[in-house]
Amino acid sequence: MTAKTVHKNLGLSEISWRSSLGVTKTVLIARFKIVLRYKGAIVFDMILPVILAALPILLGVAIAGQAAAQNFEDATGTENYKLYMLIGASTFIVVTLMLWLVGYWIRREMETGTLESVYASPAKRVEVLSGVTLYALIRSLMAFAFAMVVGSFIFQVDLFQGEMALALAFVVIGIIPLWGISFAFGALILKVKEADSLIQVMQWVVAFFMGIFFPITVFPPFLRYVALSFPPTWMTNGVRASLLDVAYFFGTWYLDLAVLLAFAAVLPLVGYTVFLRTERRIKKNEGVGQF
Amino acid sequence: MSKKTIVEFSRYPLSFGAIFLQIFLMVLMFMFAVFAFSSPTQALDSFEDASLSGWAEDPLSHVGEGEFYRVLTGPYGDEPSMVTFLNLTDPAHSYGVEKNPEGVSDWSAFKQIQIGLYSSSGTTADVSIQLKGDSGENGTWWESDIVGFGGGQDTLVFNITDFGGENSTLESVDSLSIRFQNADNGTIVYVTQIDMVLTPQGARLAGVMMYGFVIFIFLSFILWEVGFSIREEQFRGTLESLYLSPANKFSNLISRVFAIFMWITVIASIALVVVSNIAGGLPLNNVALAFLILFLTVSGILGMAFFVAGLTIRIKESAALLVNFLQFFFMIFCAAFFPFRALPSVVVDYVSRWIPVSYGVDAFRSVLIGLPEGYPELLPFEAEMVVVVLFGILSPLLGYLYYRHSEKKARIQGTLGEY
């Protein structure tokens, strides 16, 4: 009782779930306050998938003319190539923003010299990182939803065909492993530091392996296995298969969803562990402030 | 200053690799997208429809529907054995040219023929193919180079190099023959596969895509490098120090692109070679003129980059957004990866035609693909050249003037060092 009184008199607050949530909420609000100063960035995130989807659509029409739909159906199983590309590009923005925003946050804090201050505060790392990843999640989902709606108007495609609820389930569950991947990516940025190059390359690596413009069946076997070990590939294909006549990897939606759930159960823990280990090693050596 | 950027650049080897990988992945991604839209190989697999004739007709038998043919090799009198597939242009057949995306019997669309052979007895043979047509003089035909078959299972690739070109009089094809020479007499070879590798309108579209891509990567990286390096100087607080030095401002700006310019040239060349190999050769004509157009277009792009640098001084953090936006804007509206005809005409008329870079892209690729009918797409070639020359000369001047204006304004307001 005495200890508690002394504790309170010193102005220290106890660490409770509420204070933990407070940290996450504060980080989240801070991120949004900063980005809202650059409204164009948010708009750009939302338009980018539409632009990305437009490129292969225009390319395909230029190549195949009126046979575009037929040829595309022969290759992928659906003739609705516009929605196929739109789904690919929209899920890509979710993945890339999750990586970009987390990676760039760490890099910026390093460059501006505030990462050490964050470490010096009593807030737990997981709370701060949750705030940042939650911010990335909200921003990426906003971009996803906006791009799908605007893209459906521009490309004149019907979003509400197939199993919309199932498609949303693939998106929601597919985001959980992304959380883990973004932690691991953050660890990589801490270690390598050259965030710009890494992020730029990772964007295209991700886009390539998750098959934003084509089915991964066109890959040779080795690349196909690499693509299948990457959760966003399952998310993209799941959404496509739910809305279009594209096959699930395992033939049925529940098996594909089960794989995604397995990723969701494992990857966040793995990612966070990797982050903590990397961070500990860096703190022991050069310190997190070095950039 | 150039030295500094090169040294700075080489201090981050990861950046070298990153740029290379990024461009390589972009190319691969678009190529896979292209594959998804085209029927890259069209198999002559409906064997039940194939009509057969020739010296090898008797010993040839149909082994199961859609499977393979058996050919008894060896000379028949003075002639080598040969198997012929007839009526290729007959619309009743499921193979042939009726699936050509353009809907015309354009055999020049086929760039390659792949013949799968199998021999259990280890028979070797020199194999060639003949395409025969009924147009022009009687008996017009095209014959491939001889390709060696080493026994076992193999796919022989016959590149149709001059077919449909100046040296060929063949306009349509009725039959395809496979000739076996220098084979052991009386041994059996199975024809397991005949694929026509289709590249719509030949390598032209691959050229349009890749040459447009070359201009695009120059544009993208120059805009980033010039615009963003100014931002970085602002961010690190070294921009003001630079202004205190007696260095020429123009040299200061232009020197920033040297390292990236050299690296992009290397990467673009590698990308072109790789794609050329995959696509079975890209058209390459008027190289000197193309280099001139590239030089003028890059000069014009430099002017745009100066403009972006001027804007960066004013808009600061939003510069990244601006450059990002510009990249995609030019990618779409300058039709970097596709012909202009793929864009809605209203977009071409009201947007693309008003962007000078469009003329650079159009002229550059049209020249390289040999100015075929329909290219350039925006204006007659001479008129496009006028635009390209004016763009190459005026854009750096105007861009630099704008940069100096922004810089002067920032110095008066005392915001140069602000970030």
In chain A, the N- to C-terminal Cα span, in Å, equals 46
Instruction: Name the one residue in this structure whose structure tokens are 């995609």.
Output: B328
Q: What is the pLDDT of residues A106-125, one digit of tens each?
A: 878 887 778 878 878 888 87
Cα separation, B37 vs A57, whole angstroms: 9
Q: Which residue has the higher pLDDT, A78 or B239?
A: A78
Subunit contact A60:B318, Cβ cutoff 8 A: no
B222 residue type, one letter = I
Residue in B76, B37, B69, B34 with CA at minimum distance from that of residue B54: B76
Percent of chain B with pLDDT over 90: 14
Q: Are residues B368 and B226 in the same domain?
A: yes
Kindly report which listed range (A17-26, A182-191, B86-95, B214-223) carries the lowest average pLDDT score. Answer: B86-95
B 316-335 → A contacts, CB under 8 A = 317-318, 321, 324-325, 328, 331-332, 335
- If one compares A112 and A89, the residue with the highest pLDDT of the two is A89
Q: How far apart are CA B159 and CA B162, in angstroms?
A: 9
A4 pLDDT exceeds 60? no
Q: Give the residue numbers spanning the domain of A51.
A: 21-284
Both B346 and B211 in one domain: the answer is: yes
Arithmetic mean of pLDDT over chain A: 84
B152 and B112 assigned to the same domain? yes
Instruction: Compute the CA torsion angle B298, B304, B306, B311 (nearest 10 deg).
Output: -160
Whether residue A31 has pLDDT greater than 80: yes
User: In this predicted structure, what is the pLDDT of residue B80?
Assistant: 61
Quick one: B122 and B149 in the same domain? yes
Residues B69 and B52 placed together within one structural domain of the fold: yes
Q: pLDDT at residue B52 above 50?
A: no
Ramachandran sector of residue B328 (left: φ over 0; alpha: ψ -120 to 50; beta: rest): alpha
Pair (B212, B313) in one structural domain: yes
A105 within domain boundaries: yes
Query: Which tens digit of pLDDT belongs to each residue from A244-261?
Result: 878 899 989 999 999 999
- Return the minimum-mean-pLDDT range out of A124-133, A149-158, B188-197, B409-418: B188-197
Q: Say whether B36 and A72 touch across the interface (CB within 8 A).
A: yes
Task: Answer whether B2's CB lies under 8 Å from B258's CB.
Answer: yes
Chain A CB contacts of B12 under 8 Å are 194, 197
Q: How far is CA B47 from CA A185, A253, B194, B250, in A?
A: 53, 38, 10, 69
Q: How far apart are CA B128 and CA A271, in angstroms?
A: 57
| Chain A contact set for B200 (CB, 8 A) | 63-64
The number of folded domains in chain B is: 2
Backbone angles phi, psi at B163, to 5 degrees: -70, 130
Kindly state whether residues B159 and B230 are assigned to the same domain.
no
Is B15 found in the same domain as B100? no
B36/A215 CB distance under 8 A: yes
Domain CATH for B159: 2.60.120.260
Judged by CB atoms closer than 8 Å, whether chains meet at A64 and B101 is answered as: yes
Tens of pLDDT, residue by residue over B56-100, are 333 334 333 344 555 655 555 556 666 666 545 443 333 333 333
Mean pLDDT of the B390-414 span: 90
How many Cα atoms sit within 13 Å of B393 on the Cβ side? 5
Mean pLDDT of B397-413: 88
What does the alpha-carbon distance between residue A70 and residue A92 come to, in Å, rounded to a whole number?
25
Supply the pLDDT for residue A145.
Answer: 92
User: What sign does the CA torsion over B354, B357, B360, B365 have?
Assistant: negative
Q: Is the CB of residue A87 less than 8 Å from the CB of residue A239?
A: yes
Q: For position B104, what pLDDT does the model report?
A: 33
Structure tokens at B309: 């640098």
Tally of domains within chain A = 1
Q: Is residue B418 part of a domain?
A: no
pLDDT tens sequence across A193-251 = 766 667 777 778 888 888 888 888 878 788 888 899 999 999 999 999 999 878 899 98
DSSP annotation of A210 reads T
Question: Cis bond leading into B376, ω under 30°?
Answer: yes
Task: Report whether pLDDT(A52) > 80.
Answer: yes
Q: Find chain B residues with C-beta within 8 A of A196's C-beta.
A: 15
pLDDT of residue B167: 43
Q: Which residue has the tokens 């193979």?
A: B95
Which of B171, B198, B225 represents a domain boundary (last residue)? B198
Does A7 reside within a domain?
no
CA distance A97 to chain B (A): 14
Statement to judge: residues B297 and B159 lie in one domain = no
B contacts of A73 (beta carbons < 8 Å): none
Complex ipTM value:
0.76
- pLDDT at residue B51, rounded to an integer: 38
Q: Is B122 left (phi over 0), alpha (psi -120 to 50) or beta?
A: left
In a domain, B419, yes or no: no
What was the pLDDT predicted at B168? Answer: 47
Q: Is residue A234 part of a domain?
A: yes
Q: Is residue B75 part of a domain?
A: yes
pLDDT of residue A96 exceeding 70, the answer is: yes
Query: How close is the nearest chain A Cα to the Cα of B29, in Å?
Result: 6
Q: What is the 8-class DSSP label of residue A217?
A: G
Task: Assess if residue A1 is contained within a domain.
Answer: no
- SS3 of chain B: the string is CHHHHHHHHHCCHHHHHHHHHHHHHHHHHHHHHHHHHCCCEEECCCHHHCEEECCCCCCCEEECCCCEEEEECCCECCECEEEEEECCCCCCCCCCCCCCCCCCCCHHHEEEEEEEEEECCCCCEEEEEEEECCCCCCCCEEECCCEEECCEEEEEEEECCCCCCCCCCCCCCCEEEEEEECCCCCCEEEEEEEEEEECCCCCHHHHHHHHHHHHHHHHHHHHHHHHHHHHHHHHHCCHHHHHHCCCCHHHHHHHHHHHHHHHHHHHHHHHHHHHHHHCCCCCCCCHHHHHHHHHHHHHHHHHHHHHHHHHHHHHCCHHHHHHHHHHHHHHHHCCCCCCHHHCCHHHHHHCHHHCHHHHHHHHHHHHHCCCCCCCCCCCCHHHHHHHHHHHHHHHHHHHHHHHHHHHHHHHHHCCCCCC
Higher pLDDT residue, A235 or A162?
A235
pLDDT at site A177? 92
CB-nearest to B25 from A64, A68, A208 is A208
Per-residue model confidence (pLDDT) at position B419: 64
Closest CA to B36 of A210, A50, A69: A69
Q: Domain end: B174, B198, B222, which one?
A: B198
pLDDT at A105: 85
Q: Which domain holds residue B359?
A: 2-36+203-413
Q: Is residue A15 part of a domain?
A: no
pLDDT at B312: 84
Q: Is the pLDDT of residue B130 over 80?
A: no
Whether residue B165 is predicted with pLDDT greater than 50 in this model: the reply is no
CB contact under 8 A, A51 and B99: no
Assigned token pair, B344: 């809605």
**Subunit contact A205:B14, Cβ cutoff 8 A:** no
Of residues B57 and A288, which shows the higher confidence score? A288
Model confidence pLDDT, tens digit, residues B88-126: 544 333 333 333 333 334 455 556 677 778 776 777 888
Tokens of B27: 């190319």
- Cβ neighbours of residue A261 closer than 8 Å, sequence gap 6 or more: A173
Yes or no, beta carbons of B21 and A218 under 8 Å apart = no
| Rounded Cα gap, residues A19 and A17, in angstroms | 6
Q: In one letter, which amino acid is A52? A: L
Q: How far is B203 from chain A (nearest CA, A)?
A: 11
Is the pLDDT confidence value at A50 over 70?
A: yes
- How does the average pLDDT of chain B come out, rounded? 73
Question: Is A93 part of a structural domain of the chain?
Answer: yes
Q: Are A196 and A110 in contact (CB under 8 A)?
A: no
The least confident of A9-13, A37-41, A193-197, B128-132 is A9-13
Q: What is the pLDDT of residue B358?
A: 95
Do B194 and B255 fall within a single domain? no
Q: Are A287 and A196 in contact (CB under 8 A)?
A: no
Which of A173-177, A228-232, B35-39, B195-199 has the lowest average pLDDT?
Answer: B195-199
For residue B89, count CB atoms less than 10 angstroms from its CB and return exposed for 0-12, middle for 13-18, buried for 19 or more: middle
Which of B170, B198, B226 is the last residue in one of the domains? B198
**What's the pLDDT score for residue B9?**
64
Q: What is the mean pLDDT of residues A73-85?
A: 86
Q: Does B346 touch chain A (CB under 8 A)?
A: no
Kindly list the residues from chain B whose CB atom is less than 8 angstroms away from the CB atom of residue A41: 318, 321
Sign of CA dihedral B225, B228, B230, B232: negative
A2: confidence class by pLDDT, cuts 50, 70, 90:
very low
Flag whether residue B393 sits within 8 Å of chain A, measured between CB atoms: no
Q: Are residues B26 and B49 in the same domain?
A: no
Let me know if residue A10 belongs to a domain: no
Query: Are the C-beta atoms of residues A175 and A267 closer than 8 Å to each other?
Result: no
pLDDT tops 90 at residue B383? yes
Q: How far is B36 from chain A (nearest CA, A)?
A: 5
Are residue B211 and residue B287 in the same domain, yes or no? yes
Burial class (CB in 10 A: 0-12, 13-18, 19+), B80: buried
**Residue B406 falls inside a structural domain:** yes
Asked whether the predicted pLDDT for residue A284 surpasses 90, the reply is: no
Contact at CB, A63 and B37, closer than 8 angstroms: yes
A241 falls within a domain: yes
* Range among B38-47, B70-79, B111-120, B368-377 with highest mean pLDDT value: B368-377
